[in-house]
A and B are shown apart, each in its own frame.
Chain A
Amino acid sequence: MSDLILQAAQAEKTTPLPWLADFQQLQNNTWLRQAVPTRKTEAWRYTPLNRLEKGNFFGAPAQVHECSECLQEQISLPDANGDELDCYRLVFVNGFYAESLSALGELQTGVSLCRFGDANEAQQSAIKTHLGTIANDSVNLFTTLNNSQLQEGVLLSLDDGVVLDKPLRILWLGSAQAVPFSVTQRLLVLMGANSQAMVLEQHLSDDAEQNSFTNGVTELSLGEGAQLHHYRLHQEHESVLHIGGVFADLGKNSLLNSFHLAFGSVLTRIDIVVNHRGQGAHSELSGIYLPRNNQYVDYHTCIEHRVPNCTSNEVFRGIIGDSARAVFNGRIHIHRDAQKTSAKLSNKNLLTSNRAEIDSKPELEIYADDVLCAHGATISQIEDEALHYLRTRGISDQEARVLLSFGFINTLIEKIPHTEIAEYLRPKLAVLFARDPELLRHIV
């Protein structure tokens, strides 16, 4: 048995949740039966796990951490008027709740929102009932690890018909500690029939070398007619190791719009599973990944169509620069009964260096015969025609390349329904394409 498996199984918790102990014990037993995937495991063949195995991340428990100024600066997110966005905000530093930075305020009737460490009896019961049950036939061993390790998390539960009045923003902040450590993050969203919400998850760190392994899992359960806008933004330092997942169950006529972003790091591997469980459900999944230097990003997505008359649309775009590497695996699984399914998948990649690498793999598994399924994957460089056109208008070659690269992902940013998030992201993304502000002044 590998050291990682054993060490994690024996890891000590700083703030255990006694009411979840039985569940966690079972999960720990399951974890002990796992083997760390190797390059021979298809779903992990490109994912470099060596740093995780050698990092000794479970040797000592994480400590409650002060939030540095650098981290605090990252919390701000302005609205359209330039004021701080009015939202419910929960901030965690290295997995521990930072009350002074959080803002929960009054909750409307029918909304249950808490952190796991502060859950009342009803909330504990909701967590125990649903945790680890969503899309649970598609989970991987790192979700099992998350189940067994978690000591904090966020629960959002909406009663039928409730429209959450403000966005929920969850900030998962990271900062290095004296010895390597692991962080387990968890979000559970339970949406009653016809409820609506916007949930923004941000993974941030200070701008120093990180020495943690983060495992962040999100579970989304949408009841009949529920509508959820979900964002998961990975904006951490390039030294982080993050393996996480987003698992969603979609009830009848529900709508999930989920947007993903990853800058790239030593290891960023996110598995997304969207389960269409009720007829008429629709999912919009989109994402951007932008690894540079020696960074790595890996998105494994799986769209499950289990019942008839559901639709899904998935668009991921990546720009891979320098010696960076990205993996995109997009699976669409249409089950035998899922007639009249419409499933679309598009993955486009731009390589801006001849050392950059992308492994793009669409995977279609279709067992129904009356379906519409379209998929496409492209890998390209900056188009000469477009570059030439911009230059004939006096724009320098350098600026033209920045405009075209940014334009490649901007088509997705433009579609972000919350303009304050699009505006927040534009400058943060633009700086990845050039250091010289002169080259960026026309896009930000």
Chain B
Amino acid sequence: MLAINNLHAEVEEKQILKGINLDIKPGEVHAIMGPNGSGKSTLGHVLSGREGYEVTQGSVQFGQKDLLEMSIEERAREGLFLAFQYPVEIPGVSNMEFLKASVDAVRAHNELPDLDAVSFMKKARSVCKAVDLDQSFLKRGVNEGFSGGEKKRNEIMQMMLLEPRLAILDETDSGLDIDALQVVAEGVNSLRSPDRSFIVITHYQRLLDYIEPDFVHVLAGGKIVKSGDKSLALELEAKGYAWLAEEVV
């Protein structure tokens, strides 16, 4: 599904990723944990194609294709989805227009016909309900005036509509109360399937109680310094990250 090989990337000439290797197979859930500033979010941005993040070395294979050669929108159409840590507010563009434009673009890329308005509405309403957002959120401007939790749920709603092959959740749990956390986790779990993979970027073990990962990686100083199964997350929760830093040294 996704093969990251010796990935180096810099932002404003500052090296952030210093040789990431990661192999994600279909159906797997990989959690990426690590201290602040370790490069977790940068990895998400680089994979989604954000401008200003320059890959200086390495490669990323997405399915049969070279991910780094693709434009931002091509990546999305090929089935890569990034749930933003800080979703952007866009007043004047309704959530519904936005979602339809997005779904149509992805479907067109996959040579599927546009959904007619009625089927789309039905689908949009059902995912809206699934993430426990009132239907009125579909009519509001994209993320406009949404609370932190509502924005995160809106991200999950988009993910459920777009049904990506690979979803990257960038600290989707930050700022969520326990109820919202469960809603988000249920959304993710409902999408888990043998041909869909997830990268869950998080600070805390808490989210992983609800979204059970197959692998846990610790990112520190721009590299993956330790990988393990879900028990690693519990160990990190108990011991913090400092002992890993010492191990690396």
Partner-B contacts on A (CB < 8 A): 383-386, 388-397, 399, 403-404, 406-411, 414, 442-443
Q: Are B98 and A390 in contact (CB under 8 A)?
A: yes
| Interface residue from A384, A392, A443 paired with B76 (Cβ < 8 Å) | A392
Instruction: Report the separation of the CA atoms of residues A409 and B92 in the bound assembly, to the nearest whole angstrom.
Output: 7
Residue of B nearest to A412 (CB): B92
Instruction: Report the separation of the CA atoms of residues A101 and B160 in the bound assembly, to the nearest whole angstrom.
Output: 53
Q: Are B84 and A407 in contact (CB under 8 A)?
A: no
Check if B40 is an interface residue, CB within 8 A of chain A: no
Given contacts A384-B51, A394-B102, contact A407 B91 (CB under 8 A): yes
Q: Are B88 and A385 in contact (CB under 8 A)?
A: yes
Instruction: Report the separation of the CA atoms of residues A391 and B105 in the bound assembly, to the nearest whole angstrom.
Output: 10
Check if B237 is an interface residue, CB within 8 A of chain A: no
Given contacts A392-B72, A394-B106, A396-B73, contact A403 B91 (CB under 8 A): no
Q: Are B76 and A389 in contact (CB under 8 A)?
A: no
Q: Are A442 and B101 in contact (CB under 8 A)?
A: yes
Partner-A contacts on B (CB < 8 A): 48-51, 71-73, 75-77, 81-82, 84, 87-88, 90-93, 97-98, 100-102, 104-106, 109, 141-142, 158, 162
Residue of B nearest to A389 (CB): B88
Q: Are B73 and A403 in contact (CB under 8 A)?
A: no
The A interface, classified by DSSP as helix, strand, loop or mixed, is: helix
| Interface residue from B51, B91, B105 paired with A388 (Cβ < 8 Å) | B51
- Report B208 CB to chain A, min CB distance, Å: 24
Q: Are B97 and A403 in contact (CB under 8 A)?
A: yes
Given contacts A407-B141, A442-B101, contact A393 B76 (CB under 8 A): yes
15 more CB-based (< 8 A) A-B contacts, given A383-B88, A389-B88, A442-B101: A388-B50, A390-B98, A390-B101, A391-B76, A392-B75, A394-B76, A395-B73, A395-B105, A396-B105, A403-B97, A406-B92, A407-B90, A407-B141, A414-B92, A442-B97
Given contacts A388-B50, A391-B72, A407-B91, contact A443 B97 (CB under 8 A): yes
Instruction: Report the separation of the CA atoms of residues A390 and B84 in the bound assembly, to the nearest whole angstrom.
Output: 12
Chain A residues lying within 8 Å of B73, measured Cβ to Cβ, are 391-392, 394-397
Chain B residues lying within 8 Å of A391, measured Cβ to Cβ, are 71-73, 76
Residue of A nearest to B158 (CB): A393
Chain A residues lying within 8 Å of B48, measured Cβ to Cβ, are 392
- Report B78 CB to chain A, min CB distance, Å: 9
- Report A398 CB to chain B, min CB distance, Å: 10
| Interface residue from B84, B92, B105, B106 paired with A389 (Cβ < 8 Å) | B84
Instruction: Report the separation of the CA atoms of residues A383 and B73 in the bound assembly, to the nearest whole angstrom.
Output: 17
Given contacts A388-B51, A389-B84, A442-B101, contact A411 B90 (CB under 8 A): no
Chain A residues lying within 8 Å of B90, measured Cβ to Cβ, are 386, 389-390, 404, 407
Instruction: Report the separation of the CA atoms of residues A125 and B87 in the bound assembly, to the nearest whole angstrom.
Output: 62
Residue of A nearest to B139 (CB): A414
Q: Are B101 and A399 in contact (CB under 8 A)?
A: yes
| Interface residue from A385, A388, A403, A414 paired with B98 (Cβ < 8 Å) | A403
Q: Are B158 and A407 in contact (CB under 8 A)?
A: no
Instruction: Report the separation of the CA atoms of residues A414 and B77 in the bound assembly, to the nearest whole angstrom.
Output: 30
Given contacts A391-B73, A391-B76, contact A404 B93 (CB under 8 A): yes
Q: Are A442 and B104 in contact (CB under 8 A)?
A: yes
